[in-house]
Every structure is written in C-alpha cells, then in structure tokens.
C-alpha cells in the first residue's frame, strides 16, 4: 500500500499534476479495457500487478542510462495530449468511445510512437509479455495484444507524480522515484494500488 500513499501525496501536493479526476480516468481506462477484452476485474488486476513488476527493471535500466529527470521528462512527454501520446490514447478509452477497431488503432498509434519505442523497445515488450504470461497463466500472445493498452495506463499512472510546469523540483517525479527505488515488490504492486484507488474513489 506504500505506493498508494505516494499517489495520495501527489494529489494533495499543489506542485504535482495528480488529481482525483486523473486517477479516475486511469481507473476508467482499466475498466474499459477489462470490458473490451472480457477479463474479469481480478484477472485484470493480476495482469497489472505482473506488468508493473516486469516494467520496473526496464524503467530502472532506463533511469540508470538516461538519468531520473530525463526519464521523468519522457514520461511527461508521452502523457501529453497529442494523438500519438499516452494522454490521447487514454482519452479515447476513458471517453467511452467504441472499443473495437478505434481502440486498437489508438493503442497501436500510441505504442508505435518513437518516444515510447525509445523507452520500451519492441523486443523488451515481448520479454515483458512473456513474463506477465508466466505470472498470470494467460496466453503470451493475448498478453502481447494487451500491452498497447495497458502500458499507457501504467506509465500514465506513474506520471501522476510529475511536477507542474514551473513548479519547484523541475522535471523530478517523486512517484516514479518511489516506484523505481523500492526493493520490495509488495510496496510497488500496481494492481494493489489500483484496488485501493478504486475503494478511495467509490462512494461510501
């Protein structure tokens, strides 16, 4: 639950971009993906848990190679509002548009962008799919088809910790740092974070 407290901290910090609305949009995206793929909520949560665990060493490597501020800046760039950005793709999902060919095209465009390919090359995505399949018992080909939809959700979630333009701290991202620096998987289980976030946003 440790990372969820970091999310709440980001929402309450006026210098960080996170908001209750952004968190709700991410959860809505996950729900839409579950409906489109026919996965139940528990399976989707397990997939996100496994995906977060598989992505962490990849992002740690990128953080080591390019530096924390550059990695945080790249996530902010990917989470913008353009048609080839994570934000553009998430908008398609959370906006309730038909999740057939349109979602597939939007997801392919998002993950096919040069910036995301630089962050997570296709070969790494294949390795991530295999790791998630082993942990969840799902078919690796199916997992591979889910990555274009789920990777933007995970990276968009991590970008909640990005600082607002002009805020103290520049391009730093405390939420991303907490995700990368933890040495215990339980502290960075994104599936658990999504579960707590759902409870947090649900009416009493």
DSSP per-residue string spanning 11-48: HH-TTB---HHHHHHHHHHHHHHHHHHT--HHHHHHHH
What is the extent of the structural domain holding 68?
2-201
pLDDT(99) > 70: no
pLDDT at residue 124 is higher than 80: yes
pLDDT of residue 134: 95
Look at residue 2 in the predicted model and tell me its pLDDT: 78
pLDDT at 84: 42
pLDDT in tens, 126-173: 899 999 999 999 999 999 888 888 888 888 899 999 888 877 766 678
**Which range among 11-20, 96-105, 113-122, 184-193 shows the weakest confidence by mean pLDDT?**
96-105
Mean pLDDT of 181-201: 80
Contact present, 176 and 156 (Cβ < 8 Å): no
For the ranges 1-5, 71-75, 181-185, 191-195, the one whose mean pLDDT is highest: 191-195
Percent of the chain with pLDDT over 70: 75
- The pLDDT value recorded for residue 80 is 57
Query: Which tokens go with 174?
Result: 């405390």
CA separation for the pair 39, 128 (Å, rounded): 19
Average pLDDT, the chain: 79
Q: What is the rounded CA–CA span in Å between residue 167 and residue 180?
A: 22
171: left (phi over 0), alpha (psi -120 to 50) or beta: alpha
Across the range 75-100, mean pLDDT stands at: 50
Least confident stretch, 6-15, 74-83, 142-151: 74-83
| Res 203: pLDDT | 62
pLDDT tens for each residue of 46-65: 999 999 999 999 899 888 98
Total domain count, the chain: 1
């Amino acid at each position: 639950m440790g990372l969820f407290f970091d999310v709440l901290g980001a929402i309450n910090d006026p210098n960080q971009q996170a908001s209750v609305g952004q968190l709700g949009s991410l959860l809505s995206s996950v729900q839409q993906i579950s409906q489109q793929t026919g996965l139940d909520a528990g399976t989707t949560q397990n997939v996100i848990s496994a995906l977060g665990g598989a992505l962490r060493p990849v992002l740690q490597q990128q953080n080591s190679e390019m530096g924390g501020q550059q990695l945080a800046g790249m996530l902010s760039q990917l989470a913008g509002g353009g048609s080839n950005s994570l934000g553009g793709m998430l908008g398609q999902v959370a906006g309730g548009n038909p999740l057939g060919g349109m979602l597939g095209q939007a997801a392919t465009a998002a993950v096919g962008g040069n910036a995301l390919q630089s962050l997570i090359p296709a070969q790494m995505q294949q390795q991530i799919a295999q790791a998630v399949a082993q942990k969840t018992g799902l078919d690796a080909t199916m997992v591979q088809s889910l990555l274009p939809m789920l990777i933007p959700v995970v990276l968009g979630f991590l970008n909640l910790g990005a600082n607002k333009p002009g805020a103290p701290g520049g391009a730093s991202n405390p939420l991303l740092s907490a995700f990368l620096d933890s040495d215990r998987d339980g502290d960075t289980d994104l599936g658990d974070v999504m579960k707590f976030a759902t409870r947090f946003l649900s009416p009493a």
